[in-house]
Amino acid sequence: MSDLLESIAADRGRIADLVADGRLDQAAYRSRHLADRNAADARCATDAALVEWLRDSDLPRDRPAAWRDAFREGNVRGKEGSAPILAAVRRYLARGLVKASDAAEGRGGFLEGEPVGVYLLEAGLVDEAAASLFASLARAPTSGRAALLLGNALRRLERVEEARDAFRRALRVAPFEILLAEIEDEEVRGLADLGDELELPGDVRAWVPVIGFLEDVLPLSALDPVPGAGFGDATRVYDLLIAHKGARSHGERTAIRRDLKQLVPQLFDALLAARKLDAVPTPTGNA
């Protein structure tokens, strides 16, 4: 029995490779042959039907929506099949979707508000997803969704500092679009739990970048393209922290601290205790 299972697994690996190479006729032939030889294994029949469906789909090269619909349908068709074949089909369709999007509107496109790189991420193509999502964020700098997904991709690649930079950006430019549960960094998600303790007003999502600075989890940055007037007191406090970091005189720092204390007294005390409002030494030398 173990020899049979090993043989089936090896055949599935070869079929998956054929799908990845776009050799769908050969993949369909091999998968049907495998199903005929192993009629007792229902997954083989499901795999064969899935690959044959993919071969016959004839998806247009410039219509990403058709590829997205096929991606979703493939998930349903292959859910009772084997993991290697379904994964190969998902990767094939995700790559085809992104290529179709690139052909239609250039790199880093969006499909009904969703950056196309999300499909690469769902298919496990994390490096490719990160590259696509970087391009999406360049096209739409205030897209919280693109920044969030980029953070998740970078986190899976263990590029933690870059991932947290992206998570901060998402929560700075579009906090109310972000579902905290979707952030694939437990420490970043947990920052929201401190909102009540710090007596922060309003939706805690807008405060997470500030709390992240307090807790040494998220970097402070003046580069996020926050739209318009921002998001109330949370944006105001963050801007004050940036101003404090760049203040050149004791008078400036004193005025900023006064404003912070008036806006968020509990947070102000926490910032003082964490020495986040210490004076930054004036640079010296010939840099």
pLDDT digits (tens, 9 = 90+) for 68-80: 999 999 999 999 9
Task: Tell me the pLDDT tens digit for each residue of 6-30.
Answer: 788 899 999 999 999 999 999 999 9
Q: How many CB atoms lie within 10 A of CB 28?
A: 22
Contact 230, 242 (CB under 8 A): no
Reading the block at residue 204, the tokens are 């805690």
Report which secondary-structure segment, H or E, holds 115: strand 114-115
Contact 235, 173 (CB under 8 A): no
Comparing CA positions, the residue from 102, 22, 141 lying closest to residue 116 is 102
Give 4's pLDDT tier (boundaries 50, 70, 90).
low
Burial 212-229 (b: 16+ CB within 10 A, else e): bbbbebbeeeeebebeee
Per DSSP, 279 falls in state P
The C-alpha angle 121, 127, 130, rounded to 5 degrees, equals: 65
Give 5's pLDDT tier (boundaries 50, 70, 90).
low
Task: Name the 3-class secondary structure at 114.
Answer: strand
Our CA dihedral for 152, 153, 157, 160, rounded to 10 degrees, sits at: -40
Q: Residue 283 pLDDT > 70, yes or no?
A: no
Q: Residue 2 pLDDT > 90, yes or no?
A: no
Task: Tell me the pLDDT tens digit for each residue of 27-51.
Answer: 999 999 999 999 989 999 999 999 9
Give 278's pLDDT tier (boundaries 50, 70, 90).
confident
Query: Residue 116 has what pLDDT?
Result: 98
State residue 70 phi and psi, 5-degree precision. -65, -40
Q: Among residues of the chain, what percentage have pLDDT more than 70?
A: 95
Higher-confidence residue of 132 and 3: namely: 132
Average pLDDT over residues 237-248: 95
Comparing CA positions, the residue from 47, 38, 57, 59 lying closest to residue 15 is 47
Q: Among residues of the chain, what percentage have pLDDT more than 90?
A: 91
How far apart CA 99 and CA 91 sit, in angstroms, is: 12
Query: Residue 1 has what pLDDT?
Result: 54
| Averaged pLDDT score across all residues of the chain | 94
Query: Residue 282 has what pLDDT?
Result: 47
Our CA dihedral for 282, 211, 132, 84, rounded to 10 degrees, sits at: 140
